Structure 1
Amino acid sequence: MAQTGPALDREVPVLLVKVGRYPQSHSAVGAVRSIGQLGVPVHAMVEDRLTPTAVSRYLTGAFVRPTTGRESPERLLATVAAVGRAIGRRSVAVPTDDEAAVLLAEHAEELSPYFLLPPVPPELPRRLANKGEMKGICRANGVSTPRACAPRNREELVATARSWGYPLVLKNLEAFTRLLHPAVCATTVVHDERELLASCPPDGQLSVLVQEYLPPQHAEDWITHLSCGPGGEPLAVFTGLKLRSWPPGAGVTTRACSLANPELAGLATRLCRQIGYSGTADLDWRLDLRDGRYNLVDFNPRVGAQFRLFETVDGVDVLRALHLSLTGRVVPQGPQLPRSFGVGQLDLQSIMATARREHRLPRDIRPHRETERAWICGDDLVPAAVEALRFGATEALRLARAVRANPVVRALRSRPRD
C-alpha cells in the first residue's frame, strides 16, 4: 500500500549498505518502508534470507553479503561495487552503520559509476565516528562535549577512573576497530572499579573512550536527525527527546518523542555547515540541567536507528530528503510532526531493568496521537514476526549461557555421580 509523501524519482533505486553482523536492525527495516512505500525500488545487503529486513514486502531485492568488518577495504569495496553492478541502475547508497559510511565516503570516486553519494569530505565520516576525533572537532567549532579521554592501556584507564570518580561511560573508540578488537561489547556505564575491569580486555592496547557520566537527575537526553546537502546546508532537521534506552542510561533508543527544539536544531545545523558535512546524520546530545548546556555525545555519520520517529507534515524524513536532493528534486520545508517511537521488546527490558535497579518506573510521556513502532507495521507484518522469533532465540541462548556460568550450576554438574 503506497503512502502519501513527497514525489520521489521512482527510476532511482536505493541500496542499504552495511558492514558487520547485526541482523535485527530496525533502522534498515524503517528505511525499506520509508522509501518502498513511496514506490521506489529498495535493495539491501543482508546476512541471510531470514532477517527482518529481507522479508519486508517493500524490499525489491535482498543481496546476501555477510561481512564482519575484518575484511580488507579492497574486499569490502569490491563487494559493494558488485552489488551496484547487479542492480543495474545508478542507486542512492545509504549506510546503516559507521563502517559503511566510512567505506562509501573514502571510496566515493571508485563507487560513483554505480551510486549517487552525498559530497561529504572523504575523511570526515571516519573522523566523526572516532569518539576522540569528534571531541576535537567539537572543540574547534565551539560545541560542548562531556569530559573524555582515550587511555592507551588498563593502567591509564584505572588511573583516569580513580581520578574522575564513578560512574563513567566506556565506548569503543573508532569505526572498524570496534569490530576487529572491541574494548567493550557496547556503550557501557560502569559504577565501580570491579565493573570497569570486567568490561575491558585484560591485555594489550585499548581502543576505548572514557567519558564523563552526567547523572540522569541533572540531565536530559536529546537527539537530532539531519539530512544535509552540499557544504552542510540543511535539507531536513529534526529534534526529539530520548526517554529510554537499552541498556538503561546508554545504548540504543527504545522510547522517544519528537519535540521541536530550535536552539538544538541551530547547534546541529551550524556544526554541519562549519565542517561541511553532507548526508544523513544522527546526533546524540546530553543537556546538563545545571548549566543549560547541550553536550554532543555522539555524531553518527549515517541514518539513525530511530530516524522514523521524525517526519514533517509533507511526509519528509531524512532518508526521503536525501533521495530528493541527490536526484535533483526540491525538499519541502514543513514543520515536524508530533510523534512517539518505541522498540517493542527492548523497551520492555529497559523498563524492567530500571525498575529493578532504581526501584521506580522510568519516565514516560503522554502518548501522541501517532506512534511509530520499530517493528510493527499494519501492512508489513512479517518483519515483526521474524524479529520476535530471532529475539526469542537470542534471549534463550543468553539465558542458557548465564545458567551454565552460574557457580552453583557448575558445582552441581561437576559432582561425581554414584
Structure 2
Amino acid sequence: MSVVPPTVSKEISPAETPYSISERPPVIVIGGGANALSIARSLGRAGIQVWALNYDYSPVRYSRFAQWLSLAGKSQGKSAWADFLLGSSSDHLKGSVIIPASDDALELLIEHYTKLKRRFRLDLFVPDAHASMLNKLKTYQAATRCGVPTPKFWLVDSISSVTKLREELVFPLLVKPLYSHRFVATFGVKFLVAENFEQLMSAWEKLDEEHEVMLVEKIPGPDGQLCSYYTYIDDNGKHLFQFTKRIIRRFPPEMGVACRHVTDHIPELVEPATKLFAEVGLRGLANVEFKLDPRDGMLKLIECNARITAANILLDRCGYDLAYFLYQRVCEGDTPRFRDYQDDVYLWNPVDDLRAFLQLRSRGELSLGDWISSISKTNVTLQIFHWSDPLPSWMNTWHRLCRALTRKVHG
C-alpha cells in the first residue's frame, strides 16, 4: 500500500535547484519528526532556506518552509545521508549549517564529524560526549559517577547473565536498549516491560544480537511525574539559559511519546542536570528528563537528548527559538538572550492524547470529566498543525492511517 500520494509529494532534486550561499547560508535539517518541522518553520519564516534530509513519512517533507532532498531515488537513512553529505552531490550546499534532529543524525555526526566539519557549518559538538549521551548505559554510568540519582540498572549480555541476577532484580522493570532509535526501528517501541521474571525471559527471546540492552527498574507512578531541563552549554561550560517543563500524558501511557506537556519552573532540576552534563563534558544543546520517585521523593534520571527535541515548538512558543539561536551562534557568533518564560503554556497532540485517555479510562485511571478539564486550557500550541502550514499535519495523519491499515491487513 502506498502511503505517499504522488500528486502531493514535493521532491526537489538538488542538482536541479542549485543554491548560492553567498548570502545567508542555508540549513540542512537531518532526521526528526515534529522537531524537524518546527526548525523548518522557524528558520523559513526568518527568510533562511531550509533543506530536509529525512525519511519519506516525515511531516517536514510537506512543509512549505522546507525543500526536500530526494537523494536521486535512494532510500533515506543514515548511510544514504552520509553518502550524500560527503559526496559531490552536496557540493552546491557546502557551507550550509547542519542541525541534527534525531538520534540517527547525531550518530552520523559522531561517526563523520571531522569530514563534515570541513564541508559544513556545525554547532559546538564533542563527539565523545555526545556518544555518551546517546548510549543509555554510558549516560547512567556517568550519572552514578557524579552522584545523580538513577533507577536501579543492570548490564546484561546473555540469558545466563540475566539468570544470575534473578534474586537481585526488582519488578516491574524495563528491558531498555542502549540505543533507543535502533530498537524503535525494529520493535516500534522504546523498550519492553517485564512485570516478573517469566515475562523477562519471554522478552529476552524477542531480542537478537543486534540490540544491546540493559535492565532498568521501572519507577512507579503516572507520566505526570516526568519533567525535563533544557539548556545550551558554551565553550566554557556555562549554561546560557534554563528552561523546564512537565509531561502530563504520553501515548501509550508510561512508555510512549509525550502527547501533552506544560511549562513549569522546576529549580530542583538544575543541580543534577548541571552535574551530569559536566561529568561527560557536553557542549551545545542539552536536554535531560527525570522522573519523581514517590517512594523516596527523589528525581531520578530517565534519559538525555543532546539536540532539539520533539517538544521544540513549546519552547519556541515561549520565546526560546532554539533553531534561530543555533543559527546565530554558528553563522554570526551571536548569543541571543532569552527572557523568562511563562508557566502553564501547553503543547498538545490531540490525536495521541485522545488515545492515551481511552487507555487510561479503560484502566480506571482517568475519567472523561477529568480529561476534558485537563484539555480545557488556554495558551495551547498544537505539536504539528498550524494554519499557515497545514499540509504536514494532513500528511502525517494520512501516513498514520495507512500504517494502521497495513498492520490490520497483515495481522
Partner amino acid for 1:12?
A: P
Pick aligned residue for 1:293 from 292, 298, 302:
298
Aligned to 1:6: none
Distance 2:407 2:70 in 1: 29
Partner amino acid for 1:188?
A: L
How has the CA–CA distance of structure 1 residues 55 and 368 changed in structure 2, closer, same or farther, with 3 Å as cutoff?
Answer: same
Pick aligned residue for 1:28 from 16, 29, 36:
36
Displacement of 1:88: 2.6
Cα shift readout 1:318-341 (whole Å, capped 9, x = no counterpart): 333222222211211311233111
Distance 2:358 2:114 in 1: 48
Aligned to 1:414: none
CA contact under 8 A between 2:54 and 2:77: conserved in structure 1? no
SS in 2 for 1:93: strand
CA contact under 8 A between 1:226 and 1:281: conserved in structure 2? yes
Cα shift readout 1:162-199 (whole Å, capped 9, x = no counterpart): 6423221222113675478x588422333234543443
Identity %, equivalent residues: 21
Aligned to 2:172: 167
CA contact under 8 A between 1:280 and 1:302: conserved in structure 2? yes
Displacement of 1:29: 1.4
Pick aligned residue for 1:352 from 344, 358, 364:
358
Partner amino acid for 1:347?
A: D
Pick aligned residue for 1:378 from 374, 384, 387:
387
Displacement of 1:374: 1.3
TM-score by length of 2: 0.82
Aligned to 1:264: 269
Structure-to-structure mapping, 1:5-404, within 5 angstroms: 11-18=24-31, 25-48=33-56, 51-64=58-71, 66-68=75-77, 71=79, 77-82=82-87, 85-157=90-162, 160=165, 163-174=168-179, 178=183, 185-193=189-197, 195-202=199-206, 205=209, 207-216=212-221, 220-311=225-316, 315-327=319-331, 328-338=333-343, 339-361=345-367, 365=374, 368-402=377-411
**After the TM superposition, which parts of structure 1 deviate over 6 Å for at least 4 consecutive aligned residues?**
none
SS in 2 for 1:239: strand
Displacement of 1:102: 2.6
Aligned to 1:411: none
TM-score by length of 1: 0.81
Distance 1:59 1:351 in 2: 34
Cα shift readout 1:220-274 (whole Å, capped 9, x = no counterpart): 1112233332243223331111111122102211111011112213432343244
SS in 1 for 2:225: strand
Displacement of 1:376: 0.9
SS in 2 for 1:164: coil
Question: Structure 2: where are the runs of 5+ without partners?
Answer: 1-21
CA contact under 8 A between 2:58 and 2:396: conserved in structure 1? yes
Distance 2:224 2:105 in 1: 32
How has the CA–CA distance of structure 1 residues 365 and 359 changed in structure 2, closer, same or farther, with 3 Å as cutoff?
Answer: closer
Question: Structure 1: where are the runs of 5+ without partners?
Answer: 1-8, 403-418
Distance 1:391 1:343 in 2: 14
Cα shift readout 1:299-356 (whole Å, capped 9, x = no counterpart): 122221112212476x323333222222211211311233111123222221111222
Report the count of equivalent residues. 382
Distance 2:287 2:384 in 1: 20
How has the CA–CA distance of structure 1 residues 89 and 366 changed in structure 2, closer, same or farther, with 3 Å as cutoff?
Answer: same
Distance 1:289 1:47 in 2: 39
